[in-house]
Structure 1
Amino acid sequence: MNAASKKILIADDDSSVRLVLSQAFTRLGYQVRATGNATTLLKWVTDGEGDLVVTDVMMPDENVFDVLPRIRKERPKLPIIVMSAQNTLLTAVNAADAGAFEYVSKPFDLDDVTAAARRALSRPADTEASKAQARAMRDERLPLIGRSAPMQEVYRTIARLVGADLTVLILGESGTGKELVARALHELGRRRDGKFVVLNLAAVPRERVEVELFGRGEGDNGRLVEADGGTLFLDEIGDMPLDAQTRLLRVIDGTEPVINPKTGRRPNVRIIAATNRDLRGLIQQGLFREDLFFRLNVAPVRLPPLRDRAEDIPDLARTFLLRAAREGLPAKTIDQSALDRLKSYPWPGNVRELENLMRRMCALYAEELITARIVDRELQDHTPAVRSEEGPVTLSTLVERHLASHFADQPDGVPPPGLYDRVLQEIERPLIQLTLSATRGNQVRAAEILGLNRNTLRKKIQDLGVEMTRGRR
């Protein structure tokens, strides 16, 4: 590429930014023309000037997102690099939707901008396949992927919350990307320089939850202190024992005596919680504190299941193939018949199940092109057997479906250690709670109904954190 034959158009209302970029591109041998408004940029493009546009979003006369459709109409192959100080997920997605070649957040690294310019000016002619690949490369840099209406609503919610420091509750089925949303809220927010600390309550034995959260003292400070100045993400909050819920409520209220020994002050932590369970249903069963729910549910974010945004599946599938190739798996492409098959599948494991499927096909098949035949074979081999719809659904069927999600939820398809005990607790706790409710807290009667020794029942009530229901006086 002969740099001297290429002209770069720069648009930014900050004269210092225009100067820095103009000097950098001139040193690299490019012709440069710069302006401080969108109207002039659009005139230059309409007149046929420029081989690349580098523009800020917020201009004095117009928002560049309102101008980009006109530029794309006039010059559909003209590459555009969008810059913005409004570093939100919604801005990045809008840039991708508008057809920007690259999105750069401000303050920017000059080397990143010049490298993006080189890539833009040296790219091959567009074909449908190259457009799809370019979109996958853009999407790979986004924390969340998808342009469907349900996901646009998620992006708008995130954009409203990144500038605040509110407690957030993320609701959604397993595998919808709840941790990705939590990370986006942290990394785009005011606490981005602090730690993002994760505690998955479903993967921690119930008797260890308080220790993990609050520590033992004497140098073992727990996740709450570790997240001081940053964000604490409590995944699967619905699995938190009642005693730990009470202490967490006191933390939020500021009455729990937790001190960071390094600072001598209470930890300053933003709490983001997530669950795939019906917390209101757990409240009715006495398994979740209603006051804690209201404190966590200050700003809810609801993630749609993948089956409700099937139009996002092609972009997701291509991006996962690209990621797999970058991580050392064989590079693959996917044809339209395979994408159509993926869009018709119900995805009980949601986005995580789709990502695991794409990795598996990369690893197990020699073909470079993934077709509907390959997809059908994999979906048939890894979908739990469907029971007859005649007659009532058995408990065994429901348990099998639930257990399948434990495996589909994991990045490598394998749950963390302790699955047997966790599953037993999930069954035992509501069973004992409902039996005690039915007997109005009469443990002798409950033990008889359950077929347990009374001492065994008493120990299970204590170990499982079952809230007692008192009889009427």
Structure 2
Amino acid sequence: MSVERTILLVEDDPAIALIIRETLVGECRRLVSVGSVAERNAWLADHRPDLVITDVVLPDGDGINSLRIDAAIPVIVLSAQNTLDTAVRATGIGSYDYLPKPFDLDELTASVRAALQRPAETAAGGDPAQADSHGLVGRAPAMQAVYRTIARLASNDLAVLILGESGTGKEVVARAIHATGLRRSGPFVAINMAAIPRELIEAELFGHEKGAFTGAHSRSAGRFEQAAGGTLFLDEIGDMPLEAQTRLLRVLQVGEYSTVGGNQALRADVRVIAATHRDMRTLVADGRFREDLFYRLNVIPVTLPPLRERRSDIAALVRHFVEEGRRAGLPDRQFAPDAMQWLERYDWPGNVRELGNVVQRLAVLSRDTVVTVRDVETVLRDNGENGAVAAPADLIARAVDDWTREQLAASESDGDLHARLEAIVEAALFRRVLRDVRGNQLEAARRLGINRNTLRKRLGQLAIDPSQP
């Protein structure tokens, strides 16, 4: 039983540690809490826990890289860094789960229960991939789900289907999966199904022999052969003709193929990642995509959010594109606060790709080092962009709608939705006001229209340090 187990919690924030202790009080016999690498190592020298829950950034070191324990002990990693790097490093040490901060207490409890009830097993081991964002930028909750999936794909060769609107970064994600996976030393080969004439798709995929068809003057290796030992990325798979789908299905089923005009069986030594902006289930229902092939490709689905649903990432993406442009020789630029707010409120119908193009144009066309709202409006107008600018109230309403939809889809019980949402909104409100009044709780309470004692009580319940909101 999990209640007989011992948990070691490594967390330097006393408020967070207290909340975790209170949450997990019924899940174990003993929960030991320490706040540094040195304290953790001292305790581990004489004890063996059944589970370790650890933060990444600790006062005296890195909570992941410095952790040395029996591989059979599950580890749950908590982090406020919330990047792909952290998720990959957590997976690299064989962690059982990775939860970005702020995390859901119900999710933490479920993860702890599952970790304590699992049979002992050996961690995956191996060297974690290099700490690199691989072009992925953002800490929005929807991106955290993407990072966690990518990290969990690092130790296997399962087929992946990446779904999302045009411009959301599907190829970037495919390259990140390749770069953090078992085949990262092999080639990454991409082919766009929508860009190849239907009569040439099979030759492009599988190669052809000399004389196989008119114009085939010599043997040509196909993408499967070129990608041997690595990853084959099939972009816009929803546009693949039915006749080519049949042959692709057989390759995925038996792991072998032959070139066009050839009869020698060749081994398909690749990981297949497919992507599309289309609704695949609609294509299947309409008879335009084989259902059996869809399930072969959709082993691990990864859904990318449109940029309008992750507006909190826009500022970081802008900085990323500015730095990318600077390295390519474009002028360095800064964005005025109101210009950045304008970008964050724009709907971005072309998603991240459109944002990157706009930032590059602004770098070239802006007269000053600081980009203004007028510069942004001019560039978008001159380029025929017509995305709507959302009002702050609309953004809040959309965010609440998206959050509620995700919670209802992920949980059978929605009885605590109001309290959880209230805590999220209240915490954001309190932090914003405290920042504006530089931590003055009396003035913050006055602006919020509540009693100072009520404010102090809620700050404690929400684990908010008023000196560092």
How far apart are residue 191 of structure 1 and its match? 0.7
Structure 2 match to 1:228: 228
How far apart are residue 258 of structure 1 and its match? 2.4
Contact 1:175 1:352 survives alignment (8 Å): yes
Equivalent positions of 1:340-379 (< 5 A) are 340-379=341-380
Structure 2 match to 1:59: 67
**Cα distance in 2 between the residues matched to 1:157 and 1:86:** 10
SS of equivalent to 2:224: helix
**Cα distance in 1 between the residues matched to 2:195 and 2:209:** 22
**Cα distance in 1 between the residues matched to 2:287 and 2:90:** 47
1:227-256 deviation per Cα after TM superposition (whole angstroms, max 9, x unaligned): 111110000001111111111001001175
Q: 1:338 to 1:63 in 2, by over 3 A?
A: farther
2:138 corresponds to which of 128, 146, 151: 146
**Cα distance in 1 between the residues matched to 2:350 and 2:68:** 46
How far apart are residue 60 of structure 1 and its match? 4.3
Amino acid at match of 1:57: N
How far apart are residue 264 of structure 1 and its match? 7.3
Structure 1 match to 2:183: 191
**Cα distance in 2 between the residues matched to 1:82 and 1:243:** 39
Structure 2 match to 1:212: 204
State the number of aligned residues: 299
How far apart are residue 380 of structure 1 and its match? 2.2
How far apart are residue 259 of structure 1 and its match? 7.1
How far apart are residue 274 of structure 1 and its match? 0.1
**Cα distance in 2 between the residues matched to 1:158 and 1:60:** 24
Gaps of 5+ in 2: 1-36, 44-58, 103-125, 211-218, 389-469
Equivalent positions of 1:410-429 (< 5 A) are none
Amino acid at match of 2:231: T
**Cα distance in 1 between the residues matched to 2:308 and 2:154:** 27
**Cα distance in 2 between the residues matched to 1:95 and 1:143:** 19
Equivalent positions of 1:54-453 (< 5 A) are 56-57=64-65, 59-60=67-68, 84=89, 86-87=91-92, 141-218=133-210, 219-254=219-254, 257-258=257-258, 265-384=266-385
SS of equivalent to 1:198: strand
**Cα distance in 1 between the residues matched to 2:282 and 2:63:** 50
Contact 2:206 2:257 survives alignment (8 Å): no
Q: 1:210 to 1:259 in 2, by over 3 A?
A: closer
How far apart are residue 381 of structure 1 and its match? 2.3
**Cα distance in 2 between the residues matched to 1:161 and 1:339:** 35
**Cα distance in 1 between the residues matched to 2:165 and 2:313:** 17
Contact 1:192 1:230 survives alignment (8 Å): yes
Structure 1 match to 2:456: none
Q: 1:359 to 1:96 in 2, by over 3 A?
A: farther
Q: 1:59 to 1:337 in 2, by over 3 A?
A: same
Contact 1:54 1:83 survives alignment (8 Å): no
Contact 1:56 1:83 survives alignment (8 Å): no
How far apart are residue 382 of structure 1 and its match? 2.3
**Cα distance in 2 between the residues matched to 1:152 and 1:369:** 31
Structure 1 match to 2:446: none
Contact 1:259 1:267 survives alignment (8 Å): no
**Cα distance in 1 between the residues matched to 2:373 and 2:246:** 51
SS of equivalent to 2:310: helix
Q: 1:344 to 1:214 in 2, by over 3 A?
A: same
Q: Radius of gyration: which is bigger?
A: 1
Contact 1:225 1:259 survives alignment (8 Å): no
How far apart are residue 36 of structure 1 and its match? 7.2
1:86-109 deviation per Cα after TM superposition (whole angstroms, max 9, x unaligned): 449x99x99999xxxxxxxx9699
Amino acid at match of 1:181: V
Contact 1:201 1:239 survives alignment (8 Å): yes
Structure 2 match to 1:399: none
**Cα distance in 1 between the residues matched to 2:76 and 2:251:** 44
Q: Which deviates more, 346-355 or 287-296? A: 287-296
How far apart are residue 356 of structure 1 and its match? 0.5
Structure 1-normalised TM-score?
A: 0.55
**Cα distance in 2 between the residues matched to 1:350 and 1:83:** 25
How far apart are residue 314 of structure 1 and its match? 0.3
Contact 2:89 2:128 survives alignment (8 Å): no
**Cα distance in 2 between the residues matched to 1:279 and 1:196:** 24
How far apart are residue 335 of structure 1 and its match? 2.0
Structure 1 match to 2:21: none
**Cα distance in 2 between the residues matched to 1:160 and 1:55:** 19
How far apart are residue 331 of structure 1 and its match? 0.7
Q: Percent identity?
A: 46
**Cα distance in 2 between the residues matched to 1:53 and 1:385:** 48
Contact 1:162 1:185 survives alignment (8 Å): yes
How far apart are residue 58 of structure 1 and its match? 5.0
**Cα distance in 2 between the residues matched to 1:295 and 1:304:** 23
Q: 1:94 to 1:196 in 2, by over 3 A?
A: farther
Amino acid at match of 1:237: I
SS of equivalent to 1:207: helix
Q: 1:315 to 1:246 in 2, by over 3 A?
A: same
Amino acid at match of 1:333: Q
Contact 1:258 1:267 survives alignment (8 Å): no
Q: 1:386 to 1:234 in 2, by over 3 A?
A: closer
Gaps of 5+ in 1: 1-34, 42-50, 73-80, 98-105, 113-137, 388-473
Q: 1:36 to 1:190 in 2, by over 3 A?
A: farther
How far apart are residue 168 of structure 1 and its match? 0.6
Contact 1:87 1:188 survives alignment (8 Å): no
How far apart are residue 187 of structure 1 and its match? 0.9
SS of equivalent to 1:301: strand
Q: Which deviates more, 378-387 or 367-376? A: 378-387
Q: 1:255 to 1:365 in 2, by over 3 A?
A: closer
SS of equivalent to 1:272: strand
Q: 1:94 to 1:370 in 2, by over 3 A?
A: farther
Q: 1:255 to 1:327 in 2, by over 3 A?
A: closer
1:165-208 deviation per Cα after TM superposition (whole angstroms, max 9, x unaligned): 11110000001010111111111011111111100111222222
Equivalent positions of 1:7-18 (< 5 A) are none
Q: 1:54 to 1:83 in 2, by over 3 A?
A: farther
